[in-house]
């Protein structure tokens, strides 16, 4: 196996088991009756995917909890991709949207090897013009996601991370883990003399030591804590995002432990007082997607063995649907599929947000200014 093909040792192409995950309610074969399991196409990334001219989401699983275990977390996230597929299967199909399943990256000998394999898969998807959607999986996947987009687009993306934790831990001698993906992205940017743009949303004070906030300050990150997620605070959140990412393309990560444990019990590190998956969260997410600068999204840290009545998996599937619906309804101003110089890309704005924000306090934005 050549050096360029080493990633294949971690790649599991979609097979009969993948197809079996996509099964659910059948209301008929007509286009307006279909659900996701009837429309999904299986794609083998060992062959270069064809270019996508229609709005397309390409799923790639990160079936690994190697980084979670290395970070002293509870195992089980390796089962996340299969459970997310099962919960997404019966979602109603959306007009003008193509759905692809590109299989899974599975853990091998090390976290870094697994991240590199994900980066190769992500790069192939990004070059095809599809929106990559990583189904996780431990949050160490965020570095593979970042790296694949950086290679596929030729420039490092800004990282927008919905997460109770900053995931900026110092790199241990044993190598990366689920607490270090943004340390790795930061180091990569320094090595390549590129700006590191990082926004952490929904951060919990009790989930991070003082060292993490100090490192975030050194990294010129922006932080919005959980108190920032309210409808009357959306202007503050959007200001933090826009000030931090400039005109960069974006990778969005949604670590499910950002949500309160009542909504997301099935994670390695549940958060008692996390944010709610309410209108404020959805409007921030839509605002990011509406910018037309998002090149990849991911759902991380679903741990099915710890879930209750599939509550967390259902939440992940609902978020996936929200993303798909937004992507499908973004106006297509670029008929040839080349959006490298799309003038419609601009600031991120929460749709229907409250513009009467004169009394909004900046103290709710835990500012780590650049």
- Could you say which DSSP state residue 271 is in? B
Residue 369 forms part of a structural domain: no
Given a contact cutoff of 8 angstroms between Cβ atoms, the answer to whether 207 and 164 are in contact is yes
How many independent structural domains does the chain possess? 1
Q: What values do phi and psi take at 49, rounded to 5?
A: -65, 150
Residue 40 forms part of a structural domain: yes
Predicted confidence (pLDDT) per residue in 53-111, tens digit = 899 999 999 999 999 999 999 999 999 999 999 999 999 999 999 999 999 999 989 99
* pLDDT bracket for residue 370 (50, 70, 90): very low
From first CA to last CA, the distance across the chain in angstroms is 44
Residue 88 forms part of a structural domain: yes
pLDDT for position 339: 46
Is 50 exceeded by the pLDDT of residue 342? no
Predicted confidence (pLDDT) per residue in 156-175, tens digit = 999 999 999 999 999 999 99
pLDDT for position 332: 65
- Whether the CA torsion 56, 293, 85, 114 is positive or negative: it is positive
Predicted confidence (pLDDT) per residue in 206-254, tens digit = 999 999 999 999 999 999 999 888 888 888 888 889 988 889 999 999 9
Judged by phi (left if over 0) then psi (alpha if -120 to 50, else beta), residue 172 lies in beta
Residue ranges of E strands in 257-323: 294-300
The span from the CA of 224 to the CA of 203, in Å, is: 6
* pLDDT bracket for residue 2 (50, 70, 90): low
CATH no. for residue 51? 3.40.800.10
Max CA pair span of the chain: 62
Given a contact cutoff of 8 angstroms between Cβ atoms, the answer to whether 150 and 123 are in contact is no
Residues shown for the chain: 370
Given a contact cutoff of 8 angstroms between Cβ atoms, the answer to whether 159 and 167 are in contact is no
Is 90 exceeded by the pLDDT of residue 143? yes
DSSP three-state, residue 152: helix
pLDDT for position 351: 57
Given a contact cutoff of 8 angstroms between Cβ atoms, the answer to whether 251 and 310 are in contact is no
Report the predicted TM-score, pTM, of the whole model to 2 decimal places.
0.90
Residue 98 forms part of a structural domain: yes
Is 60 exceeded by the pLDDT of residue 3? no
DSSP three-state, residue 58: strand
In the chain, % helix, strand, coil (3-state, to 5) comes to 40, 15, 45
* pLDDT bracket for residue 352 (50, 70, 90): low
Residue 96 forms part of a structural domain: yes
Given a contact cutoff of 8 angstroms between Cβ atoms, the answer to whether 229 and 281 are in contact is yes
Hey, what are 73's tokens?
């977390």
pLDDT for position 354: 40
Predicted confidence (pLDDT) per residue in 260-310, tens digit = 999 999 999 999 999 999 999 999 999 999 999 999 999 999 999 999 999
Verify cis geometry, omega within 30 degrees of 0, for the bond prior to 147: no
The span from the CA of 369 to the CA of 17, in Å, is: 47
Is 60 exceeded by the pLDDT of residue 336? no
Residue 325 forms part of a structural domain: yes
Residue 370 forms part of a structural domain: no
For residue 24, give its domain range: 3-364
**203 alpha-carbon distance from chain centroid:** 16
Across the range 107-132, mean pLDDT stands at 96
Q: What values do phi and psi take at 275, rounded to 5?
A: -80, 165
């Amino acid at each position: 196996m050549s050096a360029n093909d080493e990633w294949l040792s971690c790649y599991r192409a979609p097979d009969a088991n993948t197809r079996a995950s996509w099964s659910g309610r059948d209301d008929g074969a007509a286009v307006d009756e279909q659900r996701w399991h009837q429309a999904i196409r299986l794609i083998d990334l060992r062959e270069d995917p064809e270019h996508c001219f229609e709005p397309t989401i390409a799923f790639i699983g990160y079936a690994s909890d190697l980084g979670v275990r290395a970070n002293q977390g509870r195992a089980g996230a390796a089962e996340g991709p299969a459970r997310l597929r099962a919960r997404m299967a019966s979602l109603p199909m959306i007009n003008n949207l193509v759905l692809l399943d590109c299989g899974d990256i599975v853990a091998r000998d090390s976290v870094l090897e697994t991240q590199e394999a994900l980066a190769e898969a992500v790069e192939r998807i990004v070059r095809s013009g599809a929106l990559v959607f990583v189904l996780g999986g431990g949050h160490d996947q965020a570095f593979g996601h970042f790296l694949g987009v950086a290679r596929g687009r030729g420039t490092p993306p800004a990282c927008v991370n919905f997460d109770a934790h900053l995931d900026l831990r110092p790199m241990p001698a044993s190598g990366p883990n689920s607490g270090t993906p943004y340390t790795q992205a930061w180091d990569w940017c320094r090595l390549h003399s590129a700006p590191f743009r990082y926004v952490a949303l929904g951060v919990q004070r009790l989930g991070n030591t003082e060292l993490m906030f100090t490192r975030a300050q050194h990294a010129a990150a922006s932080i919005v804590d959980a108190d920032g997620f309210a409808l009357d605070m959306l202007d503050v959140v959007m200001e933090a995002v826009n000030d931090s990412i400039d005109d960069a393309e974006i990778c969005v990560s949604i670590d499910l432990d950002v949500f309160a444990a009542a909504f997301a019990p099935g994670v390695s590190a549940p958060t008692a007082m996390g944010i709610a998956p309410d209108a404020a969260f959805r409007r921030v997410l839509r605002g990011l997607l509406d910018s037309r600068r998002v090149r990849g999204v991911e759902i991380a840290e679903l741990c099915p063995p710890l879930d209750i009545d599939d509550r967390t998996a259902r939440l992940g599937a609902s978020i996936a649907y929200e993303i798909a619906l937004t992507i499908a309804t973004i106006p297509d101003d670029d008929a040839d599929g080349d959006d490298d110089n799309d003038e419609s890309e601009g600031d991120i704005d929460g749709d229907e947000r409250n513009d009467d924000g004169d009394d909004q306090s900046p103290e709710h934005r835990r500012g780590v200014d650049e």
